[in-house]
Chain A
């Protein structure tokens, strides 16, 4: 067994993954009272966050090597290993997951009154699967966590969701499952191609020929595009978001959508560079549709959560656009955009949750003049609305500007199959600045501004301390990352540079060279 790079010399990733489940088992067996369950779950999630902090603090950002690695045989019959490790791309998502889980649990404190215990257990188990996805270095282990995530999420939407929850959760489950199974087939095919390995790092090194890359890219594409979601695979998301309980929407927008884009970064780009380059026009086209068309769709929504859901799809369009530019600035922008969107979209869903807890409706037309009765809340919501528009000073501005800069100046490999200059793409993508401002500000105008006309709105009470408590860290993070993104970007630099290197070097040349080398070896030279 090769030596593992783990500066802590301690299985910290396993601990982060399984602490929530261990806590869930403990709560399931020993904690009875609802209030006690809430506090116990909060303690477990805070403990998990504390455990994931060393990943951030001891992270070595001078290497692209996987860190905090763990490797144990799991299923020796198929050479499946329990292989964990993180780099600059996966580390932020693990910390983001553990942070947002705390937010989710605090936000559900009052509004979940039925089956509290099951709800909390579902979230802890969900946290395990999400961290597992980002920490896996074995393709089957990755798939294992990727799909196991569906079970708690199915229950969260289905049990605690809105009126149309059954339809929404079934749609969510079947869409995601349908996409993922093709990924499983692709992983199995790669297993045989590489001579019996499920190691993701081995796949990155293996010279797949173009046909293989083409088909495997498509199989992965379906799995990831459903998850991101990219147009036209996005229709499950507005339903799922609308019907999910607030915390469900938060984790959905904050983490689940990122899994798809993470998949592109972890699988498609480094493993299938030639197919990735070949599909650049296709990916750019779908991203632009997400940015422009979906933004227009968002504008016409009458339901607050649906509007934010569509806005999430548009923002993820930016992420996929940046991913397929193959330059450091664009991919860093994409990753940064995902983290930033994790805060902003989560916060906007929490804002809707605050309103919904009071009014029990998500219709925009039911509101109006909220600022008069809930001034603190209005400031908070206004702040995150501005962040959603990517106003300078917010983290999302940094992300969008980086992606746009990268799009104006893509790597030559991204241009190999592009029929026209990427400048046009950048110009169309930049229209998002206007479009997102349109739907966001219009929404703000209709909900927060205006005169107090509706009787229900007149009696609203402003946020309490608990509610403000879960917005506070998000506000701090959005401003901090917006004003001084350098420390966060430093974590990404080396990893992303390595990724760009992988994505821009053709495997076909390798294959030719290897064949040449073999021929030379045979002829005795």
Chain B
């Protein structure tokens, strides 16, 4: 009887990352809701929910595929809007990698704060709640609806503990901005910490790099929130190698891997790039033997379950569900 009653979890998947949605659904022990998504011949996106969502607790999982960010974003907005008009009780947008996250400040004259625009767009479409992974705190404040910002850190900690001896490791932040993230991991593991200072003349172009800290004869683990063209990571890895690191690997939350990232990685001194599956990776895992993937879906699924049941989510900030 209770299964028939309203206000159950309805998991709706966008087209960008069905694999992740499927894993989340499996974890929650439910089916992904039936939906129809298609593009008209003029490439306009059309979306229909195939089953009733009236008075249900709707979770819309949509990542954005590299190169098709706007496509995924518009589809998400249309999905939210469709569920809103279909009288869903609450709509939670589950956006593992938040699009336009880097355009979050007016760093030049008349530069658009696109991240804020995207946040406003989602609220306008009708999202009541946002679940995302490793978004900057500054961007969380763009929203006036609640945002549950999950961390990949517990998953990373487990990966390091399972694969390395923590004493041999040194956690390295590839830029000053990521120092907090790196120190947090270093503190949890009780290991050393280093930092690379870089000068960045233009976006996606890497300037001179200086290492602060000692990595000699250690496994240097670079930690960052995003790997896009991988120029920074690869240069940082080279700097670490020059400074005597035994081996270098990188732990990155969002593996966007655009442009020539795969070729850059394959030709680098990095022994491995470990990413979570927040971004659909397509055939990149096959093309890059150094690429390892941590499944983030248990964390997201648990966040969905706790959100639905009104339980605290903070446990997930320190623990990764097995």
Q: Do A and B come from one complex?
A: no
Chain B: residues with CB nearer than 8 A to chain A?
A: none
Chain A: residues with CB nearer than 8 A to chain B?
A: none
